[in-house]
A and B are shown apart, each in its own frame.
Chain A
């Protein structure tokens, strides 16, 4: 970001919540870059911005869609060959979409294929979809198919816990081949024939970009109604400010300039969060701001290693390295079925059989053989959506017996009363944390217990508390938002019984293995066959029971099965026959030899030289610092400009070179044509940079992989004070909502709850407060819960600064002190005044500083792709208490 000419922060309060990372945009700013902040509130980030654009919470796609519409109609954008070349060759702009596709433009805001939701397993009725799409019609047009009879292949990025429609009559959305595997589908290993059987004829294209069914024309038409006037009507941002933002982005994009975006959970925590990000990606692709220095979209993660926890996932729906978790709802009966269903035949994901077999070897070791599908049957399968929201609904239904809470505090989480009610139904609960926080004492100190509504003696849950070691008291790695692993060492011994999370997991796993050792039940084979040996080499650590972090890293990195001392140096060396063992293919190379922990490397580049800091930590994949960096060169492989040079084709050496590790086949010349009918990387030409995509191109139009439509579309949040000014469709037609009496939603325009509320974090506190509200130095900085509101709303309600205020939603009501400030402002939305308020959600009933639980106000309603809740935009009432 320090290399950016313009930085747009939106959906993030970067200065407050990522102050250390914010040094980079500030460096860019000191060097003359323009800093833009788009946000409902004027925050410490806005204070640093050259342009502050206020928008109503939940209207991000309207704003970004407006920028897209502005860009495609801009004169310079239409005449500068840079934009045209990038668009035509590096994106799917020219690809034709099948004739059956109907855009939101033609159907009041919904896409073709909308139908009633019929999926899910009877044993797990918690998937929450209010509707579903059959995405078949969104596919590319292919010769002979007439229309898009088949779904498209998608890399495994964002997926729901199930495939909608798979168990009903509806077609399968993610079948790469569009056909169920049959007995004729080749098996393996080797799985080369299976991958080849999944090939499809290439999609049709119109390189003049004139065909009305080509992606570019569909995009242009889709966003035509997002005019500057419409942007003002929907978002409340003055048209002039919006146009200033559009001009700044265009002025700082091109062959010798780049813009970057940064976002955080204020883009994700919506019923269409992934689509907001997709909308920004679409815009950045139009502007040529990908795979180049100072370009891209930065996902600012909320924890030190939250990136690591998606790579080596704590997520229910994926296994290591972004492969899908085997699912009972998909055709995943055998390893062959799984591979036929999941593998994308062209592009780098064609190697998935190698990644999967190596992963199974890491799980089951010697027991995993060709004869037993490498232990595939022992691997657990998911039943549906097992993420946070449905789990707590299931808990309320008595379907969950016990819970391990490690670094989580659900007693202050979404619709907190509902979550605490769920916890009261548990037989047992383990809390492993720094402090005895709200989730450890919900049975004693929760508001409903204090009020007498619930009696402590009626709560049967047995609660165990395990004190946690702190990060400086253990060894291991962080993976940060740059996908960079950094090793940290133990600086001090943890006091008393405090132990690391890996200690807890290791010790629990060992005890479970002992418990099931005598069992012959097939379901217990997953414990009995599991390889679980991380005994520490150091005697004192072994005595304490700590696992060896380097042994974990070795399993993740991978090694030769018959010679474990020989580590895997590159994922290119992985095999699908069991000869390689590797837990997470994307991390290959971090430990290429037993004594070479590249995560621990801390050598910066010499000052003043252009470089990618390749010896500082280790970034997956293959230590590449900027992904898809083939984009930094033109079609012939030359840098677009001297100023934005990154990697390029060296004709003399016949290979790609540069400051960074090239994210491309090293010796594939720019002029290499795609090989017709070939699987894998050969299917992509020397000018197709997006090697993880089956067509080598970035997708402006997303034919598969998302369950809520191929293009981003502005929907109102599930709760909104206004009707959707853009379409007849009010909210996402396929969002996830769990209808229960304790989870009621406000209908659009309900005058009892007229204000838009957004929740957020402050620099001074961390999440639910377990790491800050117990620290006197942090507690004194923000000691009490408050609500930020404008002087206009305060005057209307007779509220003065520091008055107690009551905030209510159908779920609950809380009390907070008023912080009356002009940093908040009323918006005019579709001709109507809408007040925006905001509340930080750090407080609870334990700790040095306490306050009401703001999350009691929120609802269990979320996005259909990733099931994240909508905590950033809902409605409430505000009164003087």
Chain B
């Protein structure tokens, strides 16, 4: 396998221009919401709202201002598939449509996908959804086709401020550590890396530099594999079955006792 490739997204230099969203759509020929005739969300400048089958990059806008404006910031962050080392989507896919590539990225093969939606529920980040144009589950491929011919992904290529960095994950981690150190030195002590650590799903090949809690960016603070949740949910299912059974008994009894 070639070395693991990924993204390091430094949110402190993101200007929210959405060039990544558009470059992604252009390269991957993804349709626009309602042919472009979208509606205003009212949520800051975010009108595409989330990652889904036709939005593989999504810029989030978080306005944080005190009522008197003495403190204020506008957090901007370009979100994308995390290309987890331990990928829940890949694990649950019944058709084998989701593969790990030679770049250690996670790719859904559209022609093998049967649209069963299992991966959608299995992703702890809510990255995947059905692309209505194809009827299959889709998400960022880390521009697999571009990588295969030695090109960088469309989004990082388009990013004007180098908020999105592409490269070997090992190099990106070094770059990211240095950036955190530098920001701490400049007084931005809130800066930290999200997903660079192997403790998070074995490491996210697409990781982030954040300056607030993950929840603020709509990221889970402690994402889990679907199999990890399976154990507890199995017991819940059993318990649920018992409850339904008991309820049924009670209900029959009630009916039976009717005059």
Contact = CB atoms under 8 A, between A and B. Distances in A.
Interface of A: 15-16, 19-20, 22-23, 26, 29-30, 32, 42, 44-48, 52, 54, 762-764, 775-784, 786, 801-802, 817, 819, 821-823, 825, 848-849
26 contacts: A19-B17, A22-B15, A23-B162, A42-B72, A44-B15, A44-B16, A45-B15, A47-B74, A54-B69, A776-B32, A777-B25, A777-B26, A777-B32, A779-B32, A779-B36, A780-B38, A780-B48, A781-B21, A781-B48, A783-B39, A784-B40, A801-B42, A802-B42, A819-B40, A823-B72, A849-B38
A783 B161 contact: no
Contact of B38 (A45, A48, A52, A779): A779
B38 A822 contact: no
Nearest to B76: A47
Contacts of A15: 15-17
Given A22-B15, A30-B13, A777 B63 contact: no
Interface in B189-246: none
Contacts of B69: 54, 822, 825
Contact of B36 (A30, A42, A777, A801): A777
Nearest to A826: B69
A47 B74 CA distance: 5
A782 B45 contact: yes
A32 B188 CA distance: 12
B190 to A, nearest CB: 15
B114 interface: no
Given A19-B17, A784-B40, A822-B63, A776 B76 contact: no
B148 interface: no
A22 B160 contact: yes
Contacts of B72: 42, 52, 822-823
B224 to A, nearest CB: 32
Contact of A848 (B16, B36, B67): B36
B37 A848 contact: yes
Interface string B67-93: 101001111100000000000000000
B16 A47 contact: yes
Contacts of A822: 63, 65, 67, 69, 72
Given A42-B74, A44-B17, A776-B31, A821 B63 contact: yes
B139 interface: no
B74 A44 contact: yes
Contacts of A821: 44, 63
A776 B22 contact: no
B122 interface: no
A16 B76 CA distance: 13
Contact of A23 (B45, B47, B75, B161): B161
Interface of B: 13, 15-19, 21-22, 25-26, 31-40, 42, 44-45, 47-48, 63, 65, 67, 69, 72-76, 160-162, 182, 186
Contacts of A48: 13, 15
B191 to A, nearest CB: 13
A776 B18 CA distance: 14
A775 B36 contact: yes
A48 to B, nearest CB: 6
Contacts of B73: 47
Contacts of B182: 30
Nearest to A817: B40
A780 B47 contact: yes
A54 B33 CA distance: 35
Most A-side CB within 10 Å, residue of B21, B72, B162, B182: B72
A762 B25 CA distance: 19
Contact of B74 (A22, A777, A801, A823): A823
A763 B18 contact: yes
A16 B17 contact: yes
A776 B36 contact: yes
Given A16-B17, A822-B65, A780 B36 contact: yes
A881 to B, nearest CB: 15
A51 to B, nearest CB: 12
Contact of B18 (A781, A783, A784, A848): A781
A32 B33 CA distance: 40
Nearest to B55: A780
Contacts of B31: 776
Contact of B19 (A19, A762, A776, A782): A19
